[in-house]
C-alpha cells in the first residue's frame, strides 16, 4: 500500500480509528508511515551508527533543541569526546566550552555524569535496559526508551513531540484535547516490531513534516505549553555569564558584571545560581569553570 505525500499530510488524508484493532488497520497505518520515510527520511549522523555512546549524546542534545542546531554541534562534540572514556575524563570546563551554543547547559553536566557512571559501574558499556537508563542523570523514561530503540532496536513504547503530533493528527481528529495516556496504547498497538529503530525515525520525520503543513496538532495535547521568550530571560543571561567565565577564567565578580548590560543585583543572583548548580566555582577573588 502506497499513500501519496499530499494524502499523507493533508487534513483530508486518511484517518485511522482508535477502535480499529484489525490487522489490516494496523498494517495500513504502518505502511503509510514507512512509505513516507522511504521517500522522505532525513539523513542524520546519529542514524548512521548503532554506537550507543553516539546515540546517547544525540538524544540528550535533541532534548529541547532543534535538529538543525544538533546537526551542527554533534560532530564537533564527538570530535572532542569520541567515547565514554574521553568524556568521563575531560574537565567540566572543557565540556561546557564545546557545548556552547546548544543552550540548557545542565544537559552537558548530565551527559558527562552519564559517561562517568558507564565507566565506573558498567565497564564502559551502556546498559541495554530501559529501567536502568531511566535512572541516569538527565534521562527520563522517554529518553531512556528512545535510546533503547535507536541503540539496541528494542520494541519499547514512548512519546516525544513529533510522535505525539502524528497520533493526534491521524487518530484524534474529532477530539478536543488529548492526553498522552490516551495515545500510548495506540503507540504500542501499531508499533512496527520488525524494526523499531526505523519505525520511530519514520514517525518522527512524519511528525516534523506535519508541523510545516498543518495547524500544529500538538496544541490539542493537554501537555502542550508555549516556550517562554528567550530574549531577556534568566536563561539567556546565564548563558552569557557562563560564556564569559569559560573564556576568561579568574575574572572578578564585578568585572564579569561590568560586561553584561543588566541589573547588577540580577547578575549576582544568576552568578550565585550558576555556582550552586555546579557550572562555576569561586577561586581566589574570581570565578572559574567548575572542575
Count CB-CB contacts under 10 A for residue 115: 26
- 180 near 159, Cβ under 8 Å? yes
Type and span of the H or E element at 289: strand 286-289
- The answer to whether residue 275 is catalytic is no
Express the helix, strand and coil content of the chain in percent, nearest 5 each. Answer: 60, 5, 35
- 241 near 277, Cβ under 8 Å? no
- 12 near 4, Cβ under 8 Å? no
Catalytic position from the list 7, 38, 59, 252: 59
State the helix-helix crossing angle for 141-152 and 196-213, rounded to 10 degrees: 120
Q: Which residues are catalytic?
A: 59
Amino acid at each position: 500500500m502506497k499513500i501519496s505525500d499530499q494524502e499523507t499530510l493533508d487534513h483530508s488524508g486518511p484517518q485511522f480509528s482508535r477502535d480499529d484493532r484489525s490487522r489490516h488497520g494496523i498494517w495500513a497505518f504502518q505502511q503509510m508511515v514507512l512509505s513516507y520515510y522511504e521517500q522522505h527520511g532525513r539523513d542524520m549522523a546519529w542514524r548512521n551508527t548503532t554506537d550507543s555512546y553516539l546515540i546517547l549524546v544525540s538524544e540528550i542534545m535533541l532534548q529541547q533543541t532543534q535538529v538543525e542546531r544538533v546537526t551542527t554541534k554533534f560532530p564537533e562534540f564527538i570530535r572532542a569526546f569520541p567515547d565514554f572514556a574521553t568524556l568521563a575524563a575531560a574537565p567540566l570546563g572543557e565540556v561546557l566550552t564545546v557545548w556552547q551554543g546548544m543552550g540548557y547547559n545542565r544537559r552537558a553536566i548530565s551527559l558527562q555524569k552519564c559517561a562517568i557512571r558507564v565507566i565506573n559501574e558498567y565497564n564502559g558499556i551502556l546498559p541495554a535496559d530501559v529501567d536502568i537508563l531511566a535512572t541516569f542523570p538527565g534521562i527520563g523514561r522517554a529518553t531512556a526508551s528512545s535510546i533503547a530503540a535507536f541503540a539496541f532496536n528494542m520494541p519499547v513504547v514512548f512519546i516525544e513531540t513529533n510522535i505525539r503530533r502524528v497520533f493526534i493528527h491521524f487518530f484524534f481528529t474529532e477530539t478536543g484535547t488529548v492526553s498522552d495516556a490516551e495515545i500510548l496504547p495506540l503507540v504500542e498497538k501499531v508499533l512496527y516490531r520488525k524494526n523499531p529503530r526505523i519505525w520511530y525515525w519514520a514517525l518522527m520525520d512524519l511528525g516534523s513534516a506535519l508541523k510545516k503543513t498543518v495547524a500544529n496538532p500538538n496544541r490539542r495535547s493537554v501537555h502542550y505549553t508555549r516556550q517562554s521568550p528567550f530574549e531577556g530571560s534568566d536563561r539567556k543571561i546565564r548563558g552569557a555569564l557562563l560564556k564569559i567565565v569559560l573564556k576568561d577564567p579568574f575574572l572578578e565578580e564585578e568585572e564579569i558584571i561590568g560586561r553584561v548590560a543588566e541589573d547588577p543585583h540580577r547578575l549576582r543572583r544568576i552568578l550565585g545560581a550558576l555556582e550552586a548548580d555546579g557550572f562555576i566555582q569561586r577561586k581566589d577573588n574570581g570565578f572559574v569553570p567548575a572542575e
